[in-house]
Chains A and B, each alone.
Chain A
């Protein structure tokens, strides 16, 4: 069965600090995709990254970086030098061959950046 766990319900950090959001997943498939989405107060889910199970290279995009480790089934997200605009709820999601046409989301982490 598919499962995504985001153990951190809420995180608050002071602006300019670095912050890491944790994501642990479960799947029996060998081929799967992992995602991160940002949900600001407006409600729209904003796509951040998609990573397939065969690509374990870490990725950096500006202040954002992602650490994918298959050995621990984790796909963690780090924001460097956080800004107030980063305040939002962040969701990790999984798509595998069982649910090929849909995403399984975690419960989200609410990130608050304190000015």
Chain B
């Protein structure tokens, strides 16, 4: 296993369109996290899964955002009706223990 994989690496979309990102964690990791990073800022927590259960969601995760981890393996993050303010790097991380994070390379979203 080569680490946490995220797809796509880059996504350009028009305002109002829906986008979906995928994260494949390290196979033995039961914890999965999504973070968002805007230009010049540190990553900000969005949501956390333990196996298939979504246990925590940030206030940053508006109604237009939804995340799933259907079988406790890969996860998807969908943004509906994208806005220019959604432009950011979306980072996924996984861990087998509390705080033992491995981050992926991220998906850079540009909303035009």
Footprint of B on A, CB under 8 Å?
4, 33, 35, 37, 42-47, 50, 91, 93, 95, 99-108
Q: Which residues of A contact B98 (CB under 8 A)?
A: 100-101
Interface size on B, as a range, is 20 to 34
Can you list 8 A-B pairs, Cβ within 8 angstroms, ordered by A? A43-B91, A44-B103, A44-B106, A47-B102, A91-B42, A103-B45, A107-B40, A107-B42
Q: How far is A43 from B91 in the complex, measured between Cα atoms in Å?
A: 9
* CB-based contact A33/B42 at 8 Å: no
Q: Which residues of B contact A104 (CB under 8 A)?
A: 45
* CB-based contact B89/A103 at 8 Å: no
Dominant secondary structure at the B interface: strand
* CB-based contact B101/A47 at 8 Å: yes
Segment 24-40 of B: residues with Cβ below 8 Å from A? 31, 33, 35, 40
Q: How far is A62 from B104 in the complex, measured between Cα atoms in Å?
A: 25
Q: Pick the contact of A93: B31, B42, B58, B89 (CB < 8 A).
A: B42
